[in-house]
Structures are given as C-alpha cells and as structure tokens.
A and B are shown apart, each in its own frame.
Chain A
Amino acid sequence: MDTFVQQLINGLNIGAIYALIALGYTMVYGILRLINFAHGDVYMVGAFAGYFIALSLGLSAGPSLGAIALVLLGSMIIAAVIGMAIERFTYRPVRMYSRMTTLIMAIGVSLLIEYLFVAVIGAAPRAFPDFLGSQSQPPYHLFGRAAISKAQIVIFLVSIALMLLLQWIVFKTRVGTAMRAVSYNLNSAKLMGINAGVLTAQYNPNIEPLMGILTGLKAFVAAVLGGIGNIPGAVLGGLLIGAAETFVVGYGQSIGIASTYRDAVAFAILILVLLLRPSGLLGSTVQEKV
C-alpha cells in the first residue's frame, strides 16, 4: 500500500510537470491554431536562464526569498522575450501561408534552439541550485514509508494554481476576452513554460540543452489527451500521462514490461486517443476558441 501511494505521488509529480508545459501547448493552440513544437525548448531556455542568473548572483542552496523571486522573474522575462521573438520573427512572417508551413517552421525553430545550446554551452548536464533546500532535507512522511519532498509539494500546488489562474484570465478578464477575440497575444502562454523550467529543476537539478525534447513531446501528448485547446484538459492529461508512465516503471516488471517502456507508453496513449477520441477527454467535438 505504501508503495502504491508512493508511486501515485511520483506519477502525479511528473504529471504536474507535463501539465505545466501542456498548458502552454494548449494556450498557443487555442489562440493560434498552432502546435508550437518549440515550446519544450522555451521550457529548457527558462531553466538555463534561471541557472545563469543564479550563477551570476552567486546563489547556492537555500537563498533568500528575494533572490528566488529575482531568479524566477528574470528567467520568466528572458523566456518570454525568446518566446515573443520566435513568434515575431518566425511564425508571424509565415502565418499567411498554410498551417503546415507554420508547423514545419516550429519544428525547425525547436531543433535550432536545441543545437544552438548544445554548440554554445555543451550537452553535459549541469546542476541547478537547490533553492528549496529539499535535496538536503529529509522528506515528509505521509503514512508508512510513503514520502513526499518539499519540491514535489511545490510543483504540484503551482501547477494547480496556474491552471486556475489561467482559466480565470482567459474567461473572466479583459485580457482574456481580448485574447479570445483577437487570438493574437502569445505572451501569457509563454509565461507557462518558464516556471516549469525552474520548478522542475528543484526536483531534478540536472538541466541540459536537450531536456525539452522528450518532456515537451509528452506534454504535447498530454494536451492532446485532455483535448487540445482545453485548459483543465491539459492538466488532467498531464497527470494521467505522468501516472501511467510511473506505474509502468513501478509495476511493469511483474508482468514482464521493462522500465524502459515508460516512454513508449505516452505515445501509445497518443495513438489510442487519436483513434478512439480525437477531440480528447475534455475536448468538445467542435473545437472552440479558448
């Protein structure tokens, strides 16, 4: 029972990360009708921006709240600027052509960012400073041996809070009305990817230029699973994918499936969703603008 609860916590924790990134996919799709494949890389850029800011401030484990806010804000601004630059200089000039053109552009931009980073800073993983002090501190015990760390709690709460905030912005504020009407402003969508980068680095301090590829793809699958364009759907999809792959790792071996099948699971789900329910779990059959 401990083990089951622990695997559930593990799964929801990874799922929350997918959900955060899936929110970005879904927002951009809802507004631009574009699958922004560079989104996973904006997540990576956010993590590295946070890393370099922390490095230049000389921060190590457990800095002050002000310093953490500075890193978060700085990385958000940098990632948002990059996101806007991508939109302004690559997507916008080809918007008048077919959707396929923009899609191919998105893939190109994604690969460009990844390999530029590899070329400039190298592919070796780097260690993100442990802001929450959760790596040195023992985890909280729920019951039995089921444990949860500070970083896991924060990631989970933030992803739920962001989902609610986003839902509120889109449906209850003027900006949201404008976004729905004009389908133009990408900025707030971009902001989603950034927090994810710095946050997940609190759980897994290992950051590298290619970290956005697989995570981004799985988040995309999560967005499709939940119903692309649908905000609660993205969160639900993320949590489901995270839980599914963790259970494959945790229990697969007893039925003869190796842990390494975890990555195949997300994509098997993608294929099943597209075959059985193309609009996703929470998506309506006629896509509506967010």
Chain B
Amino acid sequence: MKRTLLALLLTTTLFFAFACERRGGGGSGSDTGTILVGYYGDLSGRTSSFGQSTKNGVEMAADEINKAGGINGRQVQIIVEDDQGEPNKAATVVSKLINQDRVQALLGEVASSNSLAAAPKAQEAKVIMISPSSTNPAVTQVGDYIFRVCFIDPFQGEVMAKFASNNLKAKRAAILYDFNSDYSRGLQQFFKRSFTQLGGQVVSEQSYTQGDRDFSGQLTAIRATTPDVIYVPGYYGEVGVIANQTKQLGIRAPLLGGDGWDSPRLWELGGNSLNGNYISNHYSVDDPSPAIRKFVADYRARFSILPDALAALGYDSMKVLADAIKRAGTTESAKLRDAIAQTQDFSGVTGSINIDKDRNAVKPAVVLKLQDGKFVYETTIYPEGMTPPASTSVSPAAPLTSTSPVTAASPQKPPPPSSGTSAPAPSTK
C-alpha cells in the first residue's frame, strides 16, 4: 500500500514537472516567440499603492510596445504576481515566475527589502531583474543580472541634506526612521553623513517599525531637541500619521522625506498636516517637457489618476528592457545582461537613463513641496559630474558638488503648465 502511494506521488510529481517544462518551452525561445516578462509587486499589502502604480506603468509600456509591432517582431506578455509586500513572499513568487512560468526577465520590486529577498533567486537562475524603484545600494550588489532604473539612496539622502542645508538653511536636523526597512535605514545613514559634511548637526535619531500607530513618544523626544527640520525617510502609510501627530504636538519644523512618500494615499492619511513638507523624488508630473506631458496624459486617459513616480519608473523599466532586447536581438540572458549594462542616454520619462558599472541609473532628483494635496515642483538637484541640460538651467552653473550651494529654487522652476493640460490634485478617493 505504501509503495503504491509512493509510486503515485512520484508519478504526479513527474507529471507536474513535465507539465511545467512544456508550458515554459512552448514557443518562446531566445530569439523567437512571445517574450515573457514577470512583474512582481505588492498588490494587496501595506504598500499596495506602490505595486499597483508600478504595474500600471509596466503594462502601459508593454501595450505601447506591442501596438507598435513588438520588439523585433516579438510580442511582450506580462505575467503579474502579488507578493503582498512581504520579503519571503517576494522570493517565493519570483521562484515561481522563474521556474514555472519561465519568464525571460523580471521587473520589480519597489521596496528594497523585497527586491533584496527576490534578487538572489534571479541571480542564481541567471534571469535578468530590473528593479524600477528600489533605491537601496545593496539591491544591485546581489549580482550582475540585477539592474535598476532609479537613482540610489546615497544620492537621495545627499539631495535632501543639500536641500535642507542650502535651501532651507537648516543647521539642526532630527531623523525619524523605520528600523526594519532597508530603504529607510539606508537613507537615515546617507542623509546623516551628507548633512554633517555640510556643517549641520543631527540632534536626535528616533526609530519606529512598520505598522506602528503611535509616534508621539518619538516626536516629543525630537521636539525637545529643537530641530530646524525632521527627516522622515519612511513609507506613506506611517508618514501620513506622523505628519498628523507632529502637528498635534505643535511642532513647526518641516518634515523632509523621500520617494517612499509618493502615493495618493498619503493625503488621505495626513491631510493638510502635510502642507509645507518636502520630498525628494524621481520626476515631477508638472514637468513641461513633451515626453512627460505625453506620458501623464496617456496615463490619465487610461487610469483616470495622475501617475506617481513609481508608475513612471515602472514604465521606464519596461522600456529600458525592451530597448536592450532590441539591441541584443535576443532574450538570451548573458547577451541581454550586456545590452542592459550598455544602456546610455536612454531617454525615459524619469530623465535620461545611464546605467553605470554598478548597474544603477545615474539621474538627477527633483525636490517637491507638499501643498494642499499636490506635490509641487521646487527644484532639481544633479549628481556630481552631471551637467543640467541647457534648456532647464538659466545660468550656466557648474554641476553641483557637495561644497557648491544648490541653485536657488526659483530660476529652475519650470513655467506653470498651460491651463488645458495642467495637472489637478492627485485623486483623494
């Protein structure tokens, strides 16, 4: 009896193994057939706004590519998996995408902790993974098959430190960060390093964990140190509440954040208590450049909301992948890897994308001010060695270094978009 069961079990396992093999093998080789791209993200967890926006961007890009005849005549098919925003589930769904669906490339995740959990699976199987928006440096250090199309946190932390020091003239900064998030901890360190180098002082460092509901203890301790600014490099779910409790404690110092704040949900949780705060981000919906205008208009027509930066990065990640497949002429992973690594001056929605030797994108960041449900463009800050394009900079200023002041906000402000296509407040539904 036992033996029969064992035999039955073996047969079923083999059957499924073959079934999976056939499914992947069917018609999608390296040079012909449909290109299968796996997308994984948080579609139902605490940061589901991130995963949903990115998915929208990825699918919109894929549809545009397919409508234009595909890549070298091959159509793109996106296979979507929900990891619920949990690192172990991210690893599981990526294994499934690789082994069962046999995808030729992976796009995801947003949160660095999730990308870090999934990246080793992709690297091990030698499947390309492009993270649209994980900014922690460790993500692409996992291996040579892991790329990203966004800037990294040493730069993002530096951007806010420069802005605080040069534009807001802040001398004393407090930091309130998410202890369990690789993203938040990274930004905390990089902001602190840059801010201190610029002559500022970090007067208080407090932490919380994702899902916390009360921040009054930390904020009261911070209040006692009289900071000029409070850096909160967290995700929107907690930040909305933090902004609220900051105001309830009578703290007037502005909060500064990163791209983790970028979600329409932020306004629901924080409301007007968010006014007057600043974030660093990947692009501004108010940018007057034709490429961004077109992207914003198409996205709004399709999803009836404004694209946040995560949607734009999702879009760019798919376009960068498509461009590399086109140049490589194949989806054979080693050749594709080399083609992505050679990406130079690719014009994406989030700026010109250059992949550096560490497989990161080198791009400028924008600083946005939060006002009445909108992220209003404030200034652009360029990485060292990159010159601002002539069209947007009034003075032929040298690229910003850690010693030169950030160009004043006003000259770089883009002209307000003409009324017809002007972007209204993000949906507050």
- The interface of chain A, by Cβ under 8 A from chain B, is 2-3, 6-7, 10-11, 13-14, 61, 118, 122-127, 130, 134-136, 138-139, 141, 145, 147, 149, 151-152, 200, 204-206, 208, 210-211, 214-215, 245-251, 253, 258-260, 262-263
Q: Which of B209, B240, B268 is in CB contact (< 8 Å) with A260? A: B209
Closest to A118 in B: B44
From A123, A147, A151, A258, name the one whose CB has the most chain B CB atoms within 10 angstroms: A123
Closest to B244 in A: A135
B293 at the interface (CB under 8 A from A): no
Closest to A7 in B: B220
Give the complex CA separation of A65 and B237 in angstroms: 29
B335 at the interface (CB under 8 A from A): no
28 of the cross-chain contacts (CB-CB < 8 Å) are A3-B221, A3-B223, A6-B249, A118-B44, A122-B44, A122-B45, A123-B84, A124-B46, A124-B49, A126-B268, A127-B271, A135-B273, A138-B250, A139-B250, A141-B250, A147-B248, A147-B249, A149-B248, A151-B248, A152-B248, A204-B244, A249-B206, A250-B220, A258-B207, A259-B206, A259-B217, A260-B209, A262-B217
Q: Is the CB of A124 within 8 A of B48?
A: yes
5 A-B pairs with least C-beta separation: A249-B217, A127-B268, A10-B216, A3-B224, A246-B217
Give the complex CA separation of A6 and B49 in angstroms: 34
Which residues on B sit within 8 Å (CB–CB) of A134? 248
Q: Is the CB of B217 within 8 A of A7?
A: yes
Which residues on B sit within 8 Å (CB–CB) of A122? 44-45, 48
Known: A123-B46, A211-B213. A259 touches B218 (CB 8 A): yes
How many A-B residue contacts, CB cutoff 8 Å?
127
Which residues on B sit within 8 Å (CB–CB) of A246? 216-217
Give the complex CA separation of A206 and B270 in angstroms: 9
- Given A6-B223, A124-B46, A205-B240, 9 additional A-B pairs, CB 8 A: A3-B223, A3-B224, A6-B249, A14-B214, A123-B45, A127-B268, A147-B250, A204-B244, A206-B240
Number of residues from B at the complex interface, CB < 8 A: 41
B258 at the interface (CB under 8 A from A): no
Which residues on A sit within 8 Å (CB–CB) of B179? 258-260
Give the complex CA separation of A135 and B223 in angstroms: 18
Q: Which of A13, A130, A145, A204 is in CB contact (< 8 Å) with B241? A: A204
Fill in one digit per residue for B262-279: 1 if any A CB lies within 8 Å of its CB, else 0.
Answer: 000100110111000000
Q: Is the CB of B206 within 8 A of A124?
A: no
Which residues on B sit within 8 Å (CB–CB) of A262? 217
Q: Is the CB of A135 within 8 A of B247?
A: yes
Give the complex CA separation of A61 and B272 in angstroms: 12
Closest to A2 in B: B224
User: What is the interface of chain A mostly: helix, strand, loop, or mixed?
Assistant: helix
Give the complex CA separation of A149 and B251 in angstroms: 13
Which residues on B sit within 8 Å (CB–CB) of A125? 46, 237, 265, 269
Give the complex CA separation of A2 and B211 in angstroms: 28
The minimal Cβ–Cβ distance linking B258 to chain A, given in whole angstroms, is 19
B208 at the interface (CB under 8 A from A): yes
Q: Is the CB of A145 within 8 A of B250?
A: yes
Fill in one digit per residue for B342-360: 1 if any A CB lies within 8 Å of its CB, else 0.
Answer: 0000000000000000000
The minimal Cβ–Cβ distance linking B235 to chain A, given in whole angstroms, is 10
The minimal Cβ–Cβ distance linking B218 to chain A, given in whole angstroms, is 6
The minimal Cβ–Cβ distance linking B242 to chain A, given in whole angstroms, is 10
The minimal Cβ–Cβ distance linking B216 to chain A, given in whole angstroms, is 4
The minimal Cβ–Cβ distance linking B122 to chain A, given in whole angstroms, is 25
Closest to B236 in A: A125
Which residues on B sit within 8 Å (CB–CB) of A211? 213
B85 at the interface (CB under 8 A from A): yes
Q: Is the CB of A3 within 8 A of B220?
A: yes
Closest to B51 in A: A124
Which residues on B sit within 8 Å (CB–CB) of A258? 179, 207
Which residues on A sit within 8 Å (CB–CB) of B214? 10, 14, 204
Give the complex CA separation of A149 and B214 in angstroms: 14
Closest to A3 in B: B224
Which residues on B sit within 8 Å (CB–CB) of A208? 46, 211
The minimal Cβ–Cβ distance linking B351 to chain A, given in whole angstroms, is 29
Give the complex CA separation of A136 and B205 in angstroms: 27
Which residues on A sit within 8 Å (CB–CB) of B46? 123-125, 208
Q: Which of B244, B247, B249 is in CB contact (< 8 Å) with A205? A: B244
Which residues on A sit within 8 Å (CB–CB) of B48? 122-124
Which residues on B sit within 8 Å (CB–CB) of A253? 205-206, 221
